[in-house]
A and B are shown apart, each in its own frame.
Chain A
C-alpha cells in the first residue's frame, strides 16, 4: 500500500451538504470558510432592517419622503428635514438597530451555552432583576433617567451573578442555569409587585413605562456609549465565537480539541450578560427578542444550532420592526416597544408550542 499523501495534487473538497464559500489568499496566510446560506440570510435581514429603518425615519407627525430621508442622511437635508430626520429620529433608529443586534447576539450565546432553545437572558432573571434595581431608584431616590439606568444595571448584574452562583457546580450546566433563573425571577417579580403597590400613582406609572422598555426617550447621548460597547463586545465575540460552537459538542470533545473550557465559558457568559445589560440600561427591559431572534434566524439558515451573525441581523430587524409598529399602530399614541415585543413574543411562543404538539 503506497501512502497517497497528496502534496501538490489537488483533492476534491468534501461535500458539506450545503454550499460553502472558501476564501483563501495565494500564500495561504489567510483563509476562511462560511456557509453561503448563512451569509445570504444575514445580508438579507440586514438589508431589510436598514430598509425599515429608512422608512421609520420618514414616518411620524412630520412625514418625510424616502428620497428626502436618504439625502438628509447623506448630509444634504434642509433645515426642518435635517432636524427631524437626523436630530430627532436617527438616534432612535440607530439604537434600535444596535440594541436589536445586541439582543440577538446575547440570546444566541445563552441558547448555545445552555443547549436549550429557552436559554436566554430573559429566562435567567436578568430583566426582572434590572426592573428591581430601577424600581428601587425610582421609588426610593426619585432618580433621574441616568440613575435609573445605573440602578437597572446594578440590579441586573447582581441577579445574573446570583443565578450564576446558584447554578455553579464545577462549571455551568444549562438546565440548572435555567431553573435557578426562573426561581430567582419569580422571587424578584413578587418583590417588584410589592414595590409598585407601595408607590404613589405617579411613581407607579413612571415605573410601569420604564418596565415595558421604550425607545421614546433616547437621544444622541445614548448612541456613542452603545456603539462603543457593541463594538467592543462584538470584537470579543469574534475571537470566542468559534469556541461557542465547539462547546456544544460536550466538555470532553471540546477539551480534546484544545478549547480552554472555563475561560471560554466565562468570557461568553460575561459578554452575553454585558450585551443584555447594555440594552436594559439604555432602554429598559425589552422581552422576547433575545429568545426569538436566534431561533427564527436558525430556522432560516438551517444550520447546526444557533449562529451569531444571523441572530444579530434578525434581532436588529425585529426591534426596528417592533418600534415601527409601536410608534404607528395606534398613532398618535406611542406604545412602549416592549409591549409590542411581548405581544409578538407571545404569538411566537404559541406557534412554537403548537408546532411541538403537532409533531408529537
Chain B
C-alpha cells in the first residue's frame, strides 16, 4: 500500500471524517467555495447560479453523468476556467484576485490531460511540482529536495526515479503525475478523474493513498466516474445533474436507488458493501429486481 505517512500533513481531520459514526453533521467550514457560479464554454451554458462549499478536511467526490458539468465545476474551482458570473472564493477572497503562485501554494490540481516533455526523467518531472515554492534565487532548496523524495515514496515511483517518463506504462505515468502534484504540498488537492487509464489494482491503490492523505488533514476534491469508488472513499459526496447539485452529504445518507435513478437514469439496487460498509450500487440491467415475483 502506498505510504502517505511520509507526506506533509495539513490541519487535523475533523471527527466527521469517520466512515461509521453518528448522524451526519452539516459540512464544516470551507476554504474553497463556489458562489453563484455561471459556467459555460463558447456557445453553451453548463451551470447557472451554482453554490457549493467544499468542506475542509473532507474527501469530497463529485459524481454525475457525462456532461453534467462536474469537470467544468472542478476547472472553475481550480481557476482553469473563468466563470461567466459569480465567484470562486479561496480563504474568503475571490480566487481570480490572488496571485497565480499564491493559489498554486494552497491548491494543487491534477488535470485530466498533461503532456510530459520529450525525454524528461521521472524525478525531473516530479521536481517541477515545486515551482510554486521556488523563487528566482532559491531554485532548489533542501525542502524542495525532501518534498520530491517524499512525494515519490508516497506513490511508490521511487524505483522509477531515473527512468524516462515516455517509457513508462499508462498507469505508472499517472502515478508520476500524482507524485508531481503531491510534491506541491498543498492543503487542498483537486483531482480530475485521477484513476483513468489505471487497472483496478492501481485504481484502488491510488484511492487508498487519497484516503490516507485526507485522514492526515488534507482537503481533497475529486471528480470520479466510478460511482462505487466514490461511495467507498468519499466522506462527502456531491451528485450533479445538468449543471446543478442534486444532492450532497455522506454517501451513506445520500446514495439511494432513487437518487441513482434520478441522476444517472440507471435502475439499480443499493446494498451495503460487505468490506467497507458503504453503499454499493448494483445495476439491474436486464435482470429483474431481486425479490420481485417471477412472471408466471
User: CB-defined interface of A5-29 with B at 8 Å, one 1/0 digit per residue?
Assistant: 1100001111111100010100011
User: Which residue in chain B gives the minimum CB-CB distance to A7?
Assistant: B146
From B51-59, B85-93, B116-124, B258-266, the one touching the partner chain is B116-124
Query: Judging by beta carbons under 8 Å apart, are A30 and B138 in contact?
Result: yes
From B61-69, B159-167, B247-255, the one touching the partner chain is B159-167
Q: Which residues of chain A are within 8 angstroms of B142 by Cβ–Cβ distance?
A: 24, 28
User: CB-defined interface of B30-54 with A at 8 Å, one 1/0 digit per residue?
Assistant: 0000000000000000000000000
Query: Judging by beta carbons under 8 Å apart, are B152 and A14 in contact?
Result: yes
- What is the bound-complex CA distance between A45 and B78, given in angstroms? 43
- What is the bound-complex CA distance between A64 and B136, given in angstroms? 45
Query: Judging by beta carbons under 8 Å apart, are B139 and A33 in contact?
Result: yes
Q: CB < 8 Å: which of B103, B104, B132, B140 contacts A22? A: B140
Residues in B106-155 with C-beta less than 8 Å from chain A: 108-124, 126-129, 131-132, 136-142, 144-146, 148-149, 152
Q: Which residues of chain A are within 8 angstroms of B181 by Cβ–Cβ distance?
A: 256
Contacts A3-B5, A14-B127, A16-B162 given; indicate if A305 touches B141 (C-beta within 8 A). no
Q: Which residues of chain B are within 8 angstroms of A30 by Cβ–Cβ distance?
A: 137-138
Q: Which residues of chain A are within 8 angstroms of B156 by Cβ–Cβ distance?
A: none
Query: Judging by beta carbons under 8 Å apart, are A18 and B103 in contact?
Result: no
Query: Judging by beta carbons under 8 Å apart, are B140 and A15 in contact?
Result: no
How many chain-A residues does the 8 Å CB contact rule pick out? 42
Q: Which residues of chain B are within 8 angstroms of A12 by Cβ–Cβ distance?
A: 149
Is A80 part of the contact surface with B, judged by Cβ < 8 Å?
Answer: no
Query: Judging by beta carbons under 8 Å apart, are A256 and B141 in contact?
Result: no
From A219-227, A242-250, A328-336, the one touching the partner chain is A242-250
Contacts A256-B78, A256-B109, A257-B131 given; indicate if A16 touches B118 (C-beta within 8 A). no
Query: Judging by beta carbons under 8 Å apart, are A249 and B115 in contact?
Result: yes
Q: Which residues of chain B are within 8 angstroms of A239 by Cβ–Cβ distance?
A: 136
Q: How far is the CB of A160 from chain B (nearest CB, A)?
A: 25
Q: Which residues of chain B are within 8 angstroms of A33 by Cβ–Cβ distance?
A: 139-140
Query: Judging by beta carbons under 8 Å apart, are A256 and B9 in contact?
Result: no
Is A253 part of the contact surface with B, judged by Cβ < 8 Å?
Answer: yes
Residues in A42-83 with C-beta less than 8 Å from chain B: none
- What is the bound-complex CA distance between A30 and B134, given in angstroms? 11
Is B235 part of the contact surface with A, judged by Cβ < 8 Å?
Answer: no
User: Which residue in chain B gives the minimum CB-CB distance to A170?
Assistant: B42
Which of A30, A255, A256 has most chain B Cβ within 10 Å?
A: A256
Is A4 part of the contact surface with B, judged by Cβ < 8 Å?
Answer: yes
Is A259 part of the contact surface with B, judged by Cβ < 8 Å?
Answer: yes
- What is the bound-complex CA distance between A1 and B215, given in angstroms? 12
Query: Judging by beta carbons under 8 Å apart, are B123 and A15 in contact?
Result: yes
- What is the bound-complex CA distance between A319 and B196, given in angstroms? 48
Query: Judging by beta carbons under 8 Å apart, are A257 and B145 in contact?
Result: no
Q: Which residues of chain B are within 8 angstroms of A1 by Cβ–Cβ distance?
A: 3, 5
- What is the bound-complex CA distance between A115 and B140, given in angstroms? 26
Contacts A31-B138, A242-B131 given; indicate if A305 touches B119 (C-beta within 8 A). yes
Q: Which residues of chain A are within 8 angstroms of B152 by Cβ–Cβ distance?
A: 14
User: Which residue in chain A gives the minimum CB-CB distance to B102?
Assistant: A258
Query: Judging by beta carbons under 8 Å apart, are A258 and B101 in contact?
Result: yes
Query: Judging by beta carbons under 8 Å apart, are B184 and A17 in contact?
Result: no
Q: How far is the CB of B229 from chain A (nearest CB, A)?
A: 23
Query: Judging by beta carbons under 8 Å apart, are A249 and B117 in contact?
Result: yes
Q: Which residues of chain B are within 8 angstroms of A14 by Cβ–Cβ distance?
A: 123, 126-127, 145, 148-149, 152, 158, 161
Query: Judging by beta carbons under 8 Å apart, are B131 and A252 in contact?
Result: no
Is B28 part of the contact surface with A, judged by Cβ < 8 Å?
Answer: no
Contacts A17-B122, A245-B117, A257-B132 given; indicate if A24 touches B5 (C-beta within 8 A). no
User: Which residue in chain A gives the minimum CB-CB distance to B101?
Assistant: A258
Query: Judging by beta carbons under 8 Å apart, are A17 and B115 in contact?
Result: no
- What is the bound-complex CA distance between A303 and B110, given in angstroms? 25
Q: How far is the CB of B130 from chain A (nearest CB, A)?
A: 9
Is B80 part of the contact surface with A, judged by Cβ < 8 Å?
Answer: yes
User: Which residue in chain B gives the minimum CB-CB distance to A3?
Assistant: B5
Query: Judging by beta carbons under 8 Å apart, are A31 and B117 in contact?
Result: no
Q: Which residues of chain B are within 8 angstroms of A252 by Cβ–Cβ distance?
A: 80, 109, 111-114
- What is the bound-complex CA distance between A154 and B120, given in angstroms? 39
Query: Judging by beta carbons under 8 Å apart, are B163 and A17 in contact?
Result: yes
Q: CB < 8 Å: which of A24, A250, A302 contacts B111? A: A250
Query: Judging by beta carbons under 8 Å apart, are B80 and A257 in contact?
Result: no
Q: Which residues of chain A are within 8 angstroms of B138 by Cβ–Cβ distance?
A: 28-31
Q: Which residues of chain A are within 8 angstroms of B108 by Cβ–Cβ distance?
A: 256
Can you list 25 A-B contacts with CB-CB less than 8 angstroms, sorted by A residue number? A1-B3, A5-B8, A6-B146, A12-B149, A15-B123, A16-B121, A16-B127, A17-B163, A17-B164, A18-B162, A24-B140, A28-B141, A29-B137, A31-B137, A246-B131, A248-B117, A249-B115, A252-B109, A252-B111, A253-B114, A253-B115, A256-B104, A258-B105, A304-B117, A305-B118
A14-B126, A256-B78, A259-B100 known; 19 new pairs, CB 8 Å cut-off, are A1-B3, A5-B6, A14-B161, A17-B123, A17-B124, A18-B121, A24-B142, A29-B138, A30-B138, A31-B138, A31-B141, A32-B139, A115-B115, A249-B117, A252-B109, A252-B111, A252-B112, A256-B181, A258-B102
